[in-house]
Amino acid sequence: MLWQLGDHQVEFDLPDWLKEQKSSMPCTFIKRNVYVTKRVKRRAEDDGIFCSCAPSPGLSAVCDRDCLCGMLLSSCSKICKCGDLCINKPFQYRPIKQMRLVKTEKCGSGLVADEDIRQGDFVIEYVGEVIDDKTCEERLWRMKRCGETNFYLCEINRDMVIDATYKGNKSRFINHSCQPNTEMQKWMIDGETRIGIFATRDIREGEELTYDYQFVQFGADQDCYCGAEGCRQKLGSRPSKVKLSSDAAFYLVLYENDCLISLYESSSS
């Protein structure tokens, strides 16, 4: 190259997309959680949840939406009597929905659906490094001292946090909305706690994927730019609670699947 250029000096500047890539925190893409802390895994038989579904002639799939295990956010185990007809294994057998990474106007990077998604469909699993509370605190303070403002942390159980800062998948780019079209669900898969993102309504191709961060503050207040009607203005503001009937409250407790989220981008809502 130098021989071809000879004595001519050529001005060179890195392209904008490369500058942006270098300024952001590097991330290794992974398909499954990587356990940095000790992995706690129980046998499927220890969960004590077994469905009453049974295969019958003419059925191509069993353990659908009325499956007891699925209603309790637990995947059917390997010993499910429905065998290969069992479809209550969203993390194992349902393909990840097609989506693409985009640059949003006010919310940094985001994800847009590349296909129509039906309400209740499994969209993608939230994966990263599984760490304990002590490691999580150490990482947060180290990042804060370095001036880092991007955090991708999801606390799923006591002393168990999924950190997608350094290792994760596309789910780390999903932005917040006060009126989201997906939600995080905490599932038990063969004795292991995993986080899935499911559609809360029908999503059209080209629509941005969002969920409610249920943000836990670490640092300065973060403004919300989701633009939704009834936006709470700040990421740390929790949605107002709706008074429930006794029956509704019972089902809410029975199927409770909330997980504590501490997740944001400095440029995202």
Quick: pLDDT tens for 129-157: 999 999 998 988 888 888 776 778 888 88
Q: What angle do CA 90, 91, 93 make, to 5 degrees?
A: 65
CB 90 within 8 A of CB 196: yes
Q: Rounded mean pLDDT of 66-72?
A: 88
Domains in the chain (CATH in brackets) are 37-88 (no CATH), 95-269 (2.170.270.10)
Three-class DSSP category at 182: strand
Strands of 122-126's sheet, edge to edge? 122-126, 192-199, 182-189
**pLDDT tens-digit map of 193-230:** 899 999 999 999 999 999 988 765 555 567 888 888 88
Beta pairing partners, 195: 126, 186
Q: What is the pTM of this model?
A: 0.75
Burial of 54 (0-12, 13-18, 19+ CB in 10 A): exposed
Torsional sign, CA 185, 190, 193, 195: negative
Greatest alpha-carbon span in the chain:
83
* Residue-level pLDDT at 58: 81
- Max mean pLDDT among 49-63, 178-192, 248-262 falls in 178-192
Q: Rounded mean pLDDT of 68-82?
A: 86
Share of the chain above pLDDT 70, in %: 71
* Residue-level pLDDT at 102: 92
Q: Rounded mean pLDDT of 53-60?
A: 84
CB 186 within 8 A of CB 75: no
Listed range (34-43, 205-214, 258-267) with the worst mean pLDDT? 258-267
